[in-house]
Amino acid sequence: MVLSPLIWQRVWREHLPGRSRAERLGCLNLPEDDRPRLWLHCASVGEVLAARPLIRELRLKYSDHAVVVSTMTATGAERVAALMDDVAEVEAAAPLSHVFLALDFPGAARRFIERLAPRMAIFFETELWPNLLHACARRRVPVAVVNGRLSPRAFHGYRRVSWLMAQSLAHVDWLAAKSEADAERFRELGMPAERISVVGSMKFDIAVDDGSRRMGRELHAAIGHRPVWVAGSTHGGEDELVLQAHRQVRDRFADALLVLVPRHPQRFDEVAELCEASGLATVRRSRGRVPSARAEVYLGDTIGELQALYGTADVAFVGGSLVPVGGHNLLEPAVMGIPVVTGPALDNFLDVAEVLRDAGALVEVADGDELAERLIALLEDKEQCLRLSEAGLAVIETHRGALTATLLGLETIYSPR
């Protein structure tokens, strides 16, 4: 088989030292363990974080199993590693391990499933890989898609290969959709209606670990009494808008600090250079330093600390929304009690945005100039910030429950013998 250079470039980049790239061809090196395996696939960091409550509950509920989480990306793998101590206080909890997902070629997919030999396969959100699903069906592995979503853009893309999607979805035994709109899109692609349940978004079951809360409080105290806003999960073309907005914020608040957290680690150095070129005094989190009173930008160039960094803020902007990316998890700052600001590009989080919007817990801006205006207004109005933070926390508490419904649904397709 001849693999395209583009695919091999992705495999080469998304790699961790000490791990064989042969994993991408299904050649897995799994821990010696006779326990039956449950397999959960998450694409990258965002999905692993969103699936964290599910991973925890699977380890507790199926304590005589082993839980294996696969990811496409190296940063996702690092987040899985960070979760391994999540239930350390429970001696009987199932062990957690990580593998990189095999490329979706027939031989690699077949080898991956044969060596992993899962008792149940769980795909998170929109991770639908035809050859892997077919390999599961050949081995009679029950398959679930949980927190299932299809943005309008993804739906239109899948419709171009609707015949392939119908074949793939035929191998899914149960699908837990985030909303009725998502369920309808899956039905239009060929998913049998009787196998779909609308359970809500598991993102509302978000939890914050004690370590992140503690780190956020410590950083907040170390930064001192100055206006702080976080721009989290930013992308190329967006950082420039954020830095320009920060200059305008500093025109009003001379001691304001921006905590800037790019989405992708491979951009950390690039964004650091951008900050320096903008003339803003920048301190990098990876250097182990806390920003002094002279620092204007604190660059969050570390992995897995976004939640804690949100905890330092008076206001948070969630990136991927001023550029056509589709947004990122609006609930990550909300669960920390931080007012949430977003741009207009929210294709990936329309359901969450709608709920927050209806509850008066979301500030939406059209561009970088409006971002600066709204940030200044919020930093001047502590009562409004308090109303937004309380509304966000109330939304999360009201809409919890998808996790429980998902666990019950999984029982319908898999009963341990």
- Condensed to tens digits (0 to 9), the pLDDT of residues 257-269 reads 999 999 988 899 9
Task: Summarize the confidence of residues 380-403 as an average pLDDT.
Answer: 96
pLDDT (0 to 100) of residue 27: 84
Q: Give a yes or no: residue 375 inside a domain.
A: yes
Q: Are residues 192 and 273 in the same domain?
A: no
What's the total number of domains in the chain?
A: 2
pLDDT of 351 higher than 90: no
Q: What is the pLDDT of residues 359-373, one digit of tens each?
A: 999 999 999 999 999
Phi, psi angles (nearest 5°) of residue 234: -80, 160
Residue 20's pLDDT is: 77
Mean pLDDT of 40-63: 92
Same domain, 169 and 28: yes
Residue 416 lies in a domain: no
13 and 116 housed in the same domain: yes
pLDDT at 417 over 80: no
Please report the pLDDT score of residue 331 as a whole number. 94
Of all residues in the chain, the percent with pLDDT exceeding 70 is 95
Distance CA 18, CA 350 (A): 39
| pLDDT surpasses 80 at 10 | no
In a shared domain, residues 225 and 179: no
CATH code, 253: 3.40.50.2000
Spell 350-376 as b/e; 16+ CB within 10 A means b.
Answer: bbbbebbbebebbbbbeebebbbebbb
pLDDT value, residue 206 = 87
Domain shared by 167 and 220, yes or no: no
Residue 224 zone, left/alpha/beta (φ > 0; ψ -120 to 50; rest)? left
Residues 388 and 406 in one domain: no
Alpha-carbon distances of 88 from 51, 84, 93, 154, 279, rounded to whole Å: 18, 8, 8, 38, 45
- pLDDT recorded at residue 384: 98
Return the residue matching tokens 């090196």.
29
CATH number at 19 reads 3.40.50.11720
pLDDT digits (tens, 9 = 90+) for 85-103: 777 666 688 999 999 999 8
> Has residue 284 got a pLDDT over 80?
yes
Q: For 234-257, what is each residue's pLDDT tens digit?
A: 999 999 999 999 999 999 999 999
Could you tell me if residue 388 is inside a domain?
Answer: yes
- Do 392 and 245 sit in the same domain of this protein? yes
Mean pLDDT computed over 319-326: 96
Task: Identify the pLDDT of residue 13.
Answer: 67
Write down the pLDDT at residue 8: 56
Counting DSSP H helices and E strands in the chain, the numbers are: 17, 14
Give residue-wise pLDDT tens across range 332-347.
999 999 999 999 999 8
Is the same domain home to 49 and 129?
yes
According to the model, what pLDDT value does residue 1 have?
40
Q: Is residue 205 part of a domain?
A: no
**pLDDT greater than 60 at residue 2:** no
| Mean pLDDT of the residues in the chain | 91
Q: What is the mean pLDDT of residues 4-11?
A: 56
d(CA 246, CA 253): 10
Higher pLDDT, 154 or 195: 195
pLDDT, tens only, 122-154: 999 888 899 999 999 999 999 999 999 888 888
Catalogue the E-assigned strands of 54-211: 66-71, 96-100, 118-124, 143-148, 174-177, 196-198
Same domain for 392 and 406? no
Q: Is the pLDDT of residue 7 over 70?
A: no
Residue 417 maps to a domain: no
Does 175 share its domain with 228? Answer: no
Q: Does any domain span residue 120? A: yes
Is residue 386 one of the residues assigned to a domain? yes
Domain span including residue 94: 5-200+401-411
| pLDDT > 90: percent of the chain | 73
47 labelled catalytic: yes
- 338 and 248 housed in the same domain: yes
Q: How far apart are CA 227 and CA 314, in angstroms?
A: 7
CA distance 99 to 417: 25
Structure tokens of 269? 């150095």
pLDDT at 26: 83
pTM: predicted TM-score of the whole model, two decimal places: 0.77
47, 127, 238, 332: which one is catalytic? 47
**Which of 212-221, 235-244, 273-282 shows the lowest per-residue confidence on average (mean pLDDT)?**
212-221
| 405/327 same-domain check | no
The shares of helix, strand and coil residues in the chain, as percent rounded to the nearest 5, are 45, 15, 35
